[in-house]
A = this chain, B = another copy of it.
Amino acid sequence: MGEQLSNKILSRDAKADSASLESFPSSQKIHVTGSRDDIRVAMREISLSPTPVAQKDGSTRMEENPSVRVYDTSGPYSDPAVDIDIRKGLASLREAWIDERNDTEILSINSSEYSRERLEDETLNQLRFDLKRSPKRAKAGKNVTQLHYARQGIITPEMEYIAIRENMSLQQAREQGSLGHQHPGDSFGANTPTEITPEFVRAEVAAGRAIIPANINHPEIEPMIIGRNFLVKINGNIGNSALGSSIEEEVAKLTWGIRWGADTMMDLSTGKNIHETREWIVRNSPVPVGTVPIYQALEKVDGIAENLTWEIFRDTLIEQAEQGVDYFTIHAGVLLRYVPLTAKRVTGIVSRGGSIMAKWCLAHHQENFLYTHFEEICEICKAYDVSFSLGDGLRPGSIADANDEAQYGELETLGELTKIAWKHDVQVMIEGPGHVPMHMIKDNMEKQLKHCEEAPFYTLGPLTTDIAPGYDHITSGIGAAMIGWYGTAMLCYVTPKEHLGLPNKDDVKTGIITYKLAAHAADLAKGHPGAQLRDNALSKARFEFRWEDQFNLGLDPDTARAFHDETLPKESAKVAHFCSMCGPKFCSMKITQEVRDYAAENGFEVAEQAVRMIDVESEMKQKSEEFRARGSEIYLEAETK
């Protein structure tokens, strides 16, 4: 079936998903230029309508509402100025930056044997992405990771891009004087400054507290950062399986996922033509792409785990590194001695990578070859700047198995591996669970910070209960928001189809939006500078019945508008000063406005002063009659002034 579907798509016919190309309503793609002309940071700017303010003379003054800039992961797809052709892929934003570092060389042929085989196979011509560019690799003796540069004190263009990107809404709001109120957060010892500078980005990367996934063979990306002192990021998964989906569909899922907010995308393909599918995905992705190389390696040995070898795996790493994969999930922490600890679990080993490695270890009576060859993997990673995502192969697959010996044993090993990667200046993040009840989530974060010395944490959910199949985007969105608040840097999304089936486009969108809101809730709780701006702008629009602004400031304007139209479809209702919940006559927000007007007329400022001076505690004890009398007095007093 996979074969059949894949063959449907000939490279000459491949088209972008039209829904991913639409502009966002009342939004403009803008670019903020950095210290050099080729640092042009893409953002989305949402224009708002003015607020009508009634004047004393009966006229109405229109009060401007400043536009709101939002972090934009959608790349050039949402930019009407860019001509999109997925057969050509995206422009190479970072090419000059990579070249000017003068530490890479262009390879005349692919270093991977498998890549060469695929390239020589003419039956694949119709499927193949037509890449004109040859792969790059670090020159002999060079290390091309962002961590390596950071430790040498170099602020790369990538780092500056990120500083502008992370900092934007705040900077603009300061300039406009529209910063407004934000609650101080509670970040459990994270250390986010009030302004994110390029030097801060460098220092965080140098400390290992943040990573910039940016393979030198993926120059198409708009740089982004993953670390607890930055905005919480989310990852979306795509990828074909033995049971379905074509290359064009996978590219459509990619562009659809980033449209709604995916900061990175993992290609988890396990079906046919994984190599070719990946090429299409990477060439068309403005966000970092992650993979689990063991999945493809397993396909190469026809799904028989015990037939895996280090040589096949190594060739797969190089194949993917030269295609431009930005981070690899490596299950190097599934040690032989941890495997028996899972035998009494309710759900055993649920990670695919983890179970493959466990089976391999047992079949050979040998230690996990990812562990024994870890330093060699580091050598590959530093030649392309592929970041590690150290996989949690023993994560719990049920509430019952949360935080057990197997899981925490593996986490300690991941800490050990983190230090080895850092020794090689290779960037690392750590994957986390899984299924964990709410009260046991924080312990995961604390142990991760301790064992992995603040390397970024990247968790799947966690799901906070097992009893809601069909709603696991929500059971896990709860855990994701909480662990993001506690310090997790990136949240791997879960769709409503989790445990049940393959997500379709609607499921991908639902999963992404759920995780985007969870990540934002975490940003608010951590007190990320400027995070509350969008909430404030949306709430002000809501209160003032600026319906279109309310829709447009939301994470999903289309759904918000459609829901509104279901009850009040008329265009006039979108400027109505009421909503469907209460109808025109009986509306709390309308009444509040009347209260405010009344207050203004009656000198509420003065009344407020008077009220504040009253000792509230002692008032409580008094009789209602006294309150009534005093209430009148306040207003009388106010009126007479």
Contacts and interface: CB of A to CB of B under 8 A. Distances in A.
Given A554-B468, A564-B500, A398 B439 contact: no
Contacts of A244: 567, 580
B399 A535 contact: yes
A351 interface: yes
Given A438-B482, A467-B538, A501-B568, 7 more contacts: A243-B567, A348-B596, A350-B592, A352-B587, A469-B551, A474-B514, A499-B579
Interface string A456-478: 00000000111111110111011
A457 B587 CA distance: 26
Interface stretch (A48-56, A145-153, A355-363, A425-433): A355-363
Given A398-B539, A469-B550, A583-B241, A595 B475 contact: no
A480 to B, nearest CB: 9
Given A348-B593, A400-B539, A366 B628 contact: yes
Given A399-B535, A485-B438, A501 B620 contact: no
A624 B241 CA distance: 34
14 contacts: A183-B437, A347-B589, A349-B592, A350-B588, A355-B595, A366-B628, A372-B625, A372-B627, A412-B616, A465-B520, A470-B560, A471-B513, A477-B477, A502-B567
Interface in A347-382: 347-352, 354-356, 358-359, 361-363, 365-367, 371-372, 374
Nearest to A498: B581
Given A517-B467, A543-B397, A616-B409, A627 B359 contact: no
Contacts of A632: 365-366
A559 interface: yes
B367 A439 contact: no
Nearest to A583: B242
A607 interface: yes
Contacts of A542: 347, 397-398, 466, 499
Nearest to A412: B620
Interface residues of A, number: 158
A446 interface: no
Number of copies: 2
Contacts of A502: 567, 580-581
A522 interface: yes
A258 interface: no
A340 interface: yes
A555 interface: yes
A477 B476 CA distance: 11
Contacts of A389: none
A7 interface: no
Contacts of A348: 543, 589, 592-593, 595-596
Contacts of A374: 624
Contacts of A225: none
Contact of A524 (B438, B469, B636): B438
Interface string A316-360: 000000000000000000011101111100111111101110110
A616 B409 CA distance: 8
Contact of A397 (B362, B539, B599): B539
A540 interface: yes
A356 B590 CA distance: 10
A343 to B, nearest CB: 5
A340 B583 contact: no
A525 interface: yes
A193 interface: no
Interface in A471-497: 471, 473-475, 477-478, 481-482, 485, 496-497
A356 B347 CA distance: 54
Given A340-B604, A398-B539, A540-B346, A553 B362 contact: no
Contact of A536 (B355, B400, B563, B591): B400
A435 B342 CA distance: 41
Nearest to A472: B517
Contacts of A339: 595, 599
Contact of A624 (B371, B399, B481, B624): B371
Interface in A589-614: 589, 591-596, 598-600, 602, 604, 607-608, 611, 614
A358 B341 CA distance: 62
A354 B591 CA distance: 10
Interface string A555-588: 1100110111111100000000001111111111
Contacts of A335: 627
A298 interface: yes
A243 B624 CA distance: 38
B589 A466 contact: no
A393 to B, nearest CB: 9
A180 interface: yes
Contacts of A496: 563
Given A540-B346, A595-B348, A611-B341, A524 B399 contact: yes
A371 B438 contact: no
Contacts of A555: 467-468, 471
A271 B584 CA distance: 11
Contacts of A341: 608, 611
Nearest to A623: B372
A422 to B, nearest CB: 16
B367 A631 contact: yes
Lowest 10 CB-CB distances: which A-B pairs, in order?
A242-B583, A501-B567, A398-B539, A348-B592, A372-B624, A470-B559, A438-B525, A355-B591, A336-B631, A464-B521
Interface in A259-273: 270-271
A619 interface: yes
Given A563-B500, A588-B349, A611-B340, A439 B186 contact: yes
Nearest to A268: B581
A24 interface: no
Nearest to A365: B632
A553 B470 CA distance: 12
A159 B174 CA distance: 59
